[in-house]
Structure 1
Amino acid sequence: MMKRLFILILALITLVGCSNKQVVYVEPEVNSVFYEIYVGSFYDSDGDGMGDLKGVRQKLDYIQYDLGATGVWLMPINPSPTYHKYDVMDYKDIDPQYGTLEDFDALVQEMDERGMDLILDLVLNHSSTQHPWFKEAKEALLNDNCDVTETCDYYNFSYEPVIGYHMLYSNVWYEGGFWDQMPDLNLDNESLREEIVDIAQFWLDKGVDGFRLDATTHFYDDSGEKNIEFLRWFYDEIKTINPNAYVVGEAWTGDLIVHDMYRSGIDSFFNFSGSQNSGYIVKALRSQNGERLAEQVETYNTKLKANNPNGIDAVFLSNHDNNRSAGYLVTLEDQKMAANMYLLMPGNVFIYYGEEVALKGSGIDENKRLPIPWNDKGDNMPKGPENADYTQSEYTYVDKALNDNDSLLNHYQKVIQIRHQYPSISRGTIETVDLGDSALYALEHAGEVLVVHNLGEETIEFDLEHKSIVVVYGEASSKDNTVNIKGNSSIVIEK
């Protein structure tokens, strides 16, 4: 009870890391809120125009206290010839633009001391053409030495043209589904699998808490069953090294396939059907149909747990591949309501850096990975991807948002702390509750709390036996067992 009281106090205090306001923090029972960071655009610690690992470490107070996240997902940090770094040249090192292994070790140590989780982007579908494996295989093919060169079988080569393959020599082609500089790996090769386990162990031994797996539906483009088999193998290997490691996969496809992939045992897959401008979160906000949204959330989770009882939904609003949400959620009220909706959903939630200050970006991928505006002076603000061509006309600066009680950033912090107050929101069994109006999203968590959003414009009254209510956003009141909730409001009801 005392812990809940402290967390509630935290939820009601504006946390400002750079101000004189008091910061109160209680470690949540469940680490369920992750912050996705593109390091190159996050925080520049040394003034060279590039975000770096030292910058991430310097902003841990912001991530943990001002925002409230309990974990960080770092997009690829390995050496790479491109800005996005999804074409890896060395799986056991840090890109010099971002820092050193020593910088990484310092980040891991401090996050561990804070009780925060760190997961890394692990790109297993393909490597860079500059990776030593591919260079060695290329040389062996040229000199007809593949019979004694194992790395020739690390990739998929053909002696005749095939769709999705690129010419290496006049009579040799290689598979590269995404780009000719990203040759696909042959994940059937046992020696390569040993390399993958070695890579994973390297980072887990350094204290990493898990991995985000890129492009899991493309491991075997022609066989969903083989994708599941590989993921099951990988997951078992990871759990052998660290039983507590967390693995979340990217499967940007339909729900039927995603739910089937939970048979692999993987902890989570990102919930794309709920995300983006076309997802059911934004659709519900626009249609004002909360009842249907609650049913969709319950159905989605029921189906994933049918294939993996320990599965955890991975909810997000937007990420590095999507147009940023502030571009289509144009009012502060819509941004806050969307935050209420996804940050109080079951499972783990993932916040894309800058979403909490309405950072915008759309079009080419570089535009979706622009620098976060820390202050109006541009201090510690990286230059961002070179080819970006999106310009935001007006920024919400972090330092000013921290001192504005009505800011989206402080709203994120408040909602997240309320989530931390009730662990059953992230991990409890769920069930929809019919409150008699289609505008009301009502989802019960472990029989302990009920999350309610009124997505309509009108005040709604309903009767429900309960102990108390916590107003997340908007206005609501409770007398005896009658609750009144105004339009565009969110509450948590203690049963």
Structure 2
Amino acid sequence: MDLVEWWRTAVIYQIYPRSFADSDGDGVGDLPGITARLPHLADLGVDAVWLSPFYRSPMVDGGYDVADYRDVDPVFGTLADFDALLAEAHRLRLRVIVDIVPNHTSSSHPWFVSGLRDRYVFAPGRGDAPPNDWQSLFGGPAWTRMPDQSWYLHLFDPGQPDLNWDNPDVRDEFEDILRFWLDRGVDGFRVDVAHGLVKPDFSEISVFDQDGVHEIYRGWRKILDSYPGQRMAVAEVFDTEPARVARYVAADELHQAFNFDFLEAPWEPETLRRIIDASIAAAAQVGAPPTWVLSNHDRRRHVTRFGGGPAGQRRARAAALLMLGLPGSAYLYQGEELGLPEVLDLPAAARTDPQWLRSGGAELGRDGCRVPLPWEGDAPPFGFGPGGRSWLPMPPDWAGRTAAAQRADPDSMLNLYRAALRQRRPAAALTWLAAPDGVLRFETDGGLLVTANLGDSPHPLPARPLLASSPVDATLPPDTTVWLRAG
């Protein structure tokens, strides 16, 4: 057994299976496509991959509406394809984390179809009105009325009824699901909506982060610890204070939690330093590592969030070195190593996100960060699959952003990430150093000195850097991060 748990300093790469690589030409990414492209990730230098859901699903919410947690949806392949992916990943020394979706199932799940209502959250209405005023995160009421006039809860889409975690059958089922995938050899789980499982009294306004969830995760931790190989779980907990998030990663619960404060932070030094300090302090209280993330499948890509165009690219490069220099564990979202921006001009007919559909087009939704990856070639779909199509259209100007084009360019975003992951020094702590206004400078116990200029003026560089996000000479330009040897 390793002396240091691998997940404490790991860099984990998120794969959104529909959009990573297509093997059969239908325009939708799949498990064999992922398997064929795993060498890209091994060469990139990440430690593990996280797969968003690939289970049987009507795909109302991109697979986060699960109809069968123990099988692969035919659009993605078969269980044999999953086993082959896992074996190849392990051969390449990549660990594999899979999504688990315990807050809700699909309305096509056998439990819901057969009317096992005690396993879901049902309640009588207030006359013709729903039980309370809770709203769906996808817009509109969080309740849908059944023909018998009862109402069921769905904090997301009506096709995603919320489970009743007060029912022991639900708890037993998910513990069995965990064991099913652990027995197949997965290295861990990403827990979707981890703070949503236990519901409050219907009179309360706040729906999430109820104290009862922690008993559930203490049970899950016992299961994870019963398997060899340091199996782990990372919690999705959003809109929650760092001190509350830390409760999910206590020593007897889950191992990590995503850092949404960091993900959503503006490119502003004081705010970033405050978030970094709060995140490290909260995690340290329970002995957990902090985590860092810039983009994911639910948020606008950070190239666009940081301004788009050349300025957004420059800041994204600087943000990557800042993030990868921090102590703890980092999560990358597929395509960020290529500097992909958010696609904001997708045609309405191509959009499938329930956020877009339920808002009547008022919200663009998340399709723009889920556009398939460009691998090679001069025209869409850039080698995504053999059929010459992709389930979402790809911008023609991505020709210069393909993995093949960037691999040949020493100054590309891809090669910046490759160099950073080769030179990254895992660390558990940092010390802030004096710096001019607009500059963040810290030293880690891994021996790295990180200096990030988020201001408007250049500043002198004391030494030649090991790595720079943009060209430097004797000064550190704005929107640039450098790594130097500490001391």
| TM-score exceeds 0.5 | yes
The residue type paired with residue 33 of structure 2 is: G
Query: 2:439 maps to what in 1?
Result: 440
Tell me if 1:342 matches 2:317: no
Query: 2:294 maps to what in 1?
Result: 317
1:210-221 aligned at under 5 Å gives the runs 210-221=188-199
Tell me if 1:129 matches 2:107: yes
Check 1:447–1:318 CA distance in 2 against 1; reply closer, same or farther (3 A cut): closer
1:31·1:117 contact (CA, 8 Å) conserved in 2? no
Query: 1:22 maps to what in 2?
Result: none
The residue type paired with residue 407 of structure 2 is: L
Query: 1:157 maps to what in 2?
Result: 122
CA distance in 2, matches of 1:389, 1:110: 30
1:133-282 aligned at under 5 Å gives the runs 133-136=111-114, 138=115, 151-160=116-125, 161-163=130-132, 164-222=142-200, 224-242=210-228, 244-256=230-242, 257-263=244-250, 265-276=253-264, 279-280=265-266, 282=267
SS in 2 for 1:92: strand
The gaps in structure 2 that reach 5 residues or longer are 1-5, 133-141, 201-208, 345-363
Query: 1:301 maps to what in 2?
Result: 280
Percent sequence identity over aligned pairs: 29
CA distance in 2, matches of 1:239, 1:345: 27
CA distance in 2, matches of 1:48, 1:447: 46
The residue type paired with residue 444 of structure 1 is: E
2:57·2:65 contact (CA, 8 Å) conserved in 1? yes
SS in 1 for 2:178: helix
The CA deviation string for residues 31-72 of structure 1, in whole angstroms up to 9 with x for no partner, is 61111111111111121212111111111111110x222211
CA distance in 2, matches of 1:93, 1:29: 26
TM-score, normalisation: structure 1: 0.79
Check 1:258–1:314 CA distance in 2 against 1; reply closer, same or farther (3 A cut): same
Following TM superposition, by how much is the alpha carbon of 1:485 offset from its aligned partner in structure 2, in angstroms? 4.8
Tell me if 1:402 matches 2:410: no
Check 1:423–1:390 CA distance in 2 against 1; reply closer, same or farther (3 A cut): closer
SS in 1 for 2:158: coil
1:475·1:489 contact (CA, 8 Å) conserved in 2? no
Following TM superposition, by how much is the alpha carbon of 1:175 offset from its aligned partner in structure 2, in angstroms? 1.7
CA distance in 1, matches of 2:213, 2:80: 35
Check 1:299–1:444 CA distance in 2 against 1; reply closer, same or farther (3 A cut): farther
The residue type paired with residue 191 of structure 1 is: D
Following TM superposition, by how much is the alpha carbon of 1:454 offset from its aligned partner in structure 2, in angstroms? 3.1
Using the TM superposition, name which of 42-51 and 328-337 deviates more.
328-337
| Greater helix share, structure number | 1
Length, aligned pairs only: 426
SS in 1 for 2:292: strand
CA distance in 2, matches of 1:486, 1:379: 34
Tell me if 1:493 matches 2:485: yes
Tell me if 1:356 matches 2:357: no
CA distance in 1, matches of 2:9, 2:88: 16
The gaps in structure 1 that reach 5 residues or longer are 1-27, 139-150, 478-482
RMSD: 2.6
SS in 2 for 1:130: coil
TM-score, normalisation: structure 2: 0.80
Following TM superposition, by how much is the alpha carbon of 1:324 offset from its aligned partner in structure 2, in angstroms? 1.6
1:450·1:494 contact (CA, 8 Å) conserved in 2? yes
Using the TM superposition, name which of 94-103 and 176-185 deviates more.
176-185
SS in 1 for 2:71: coil
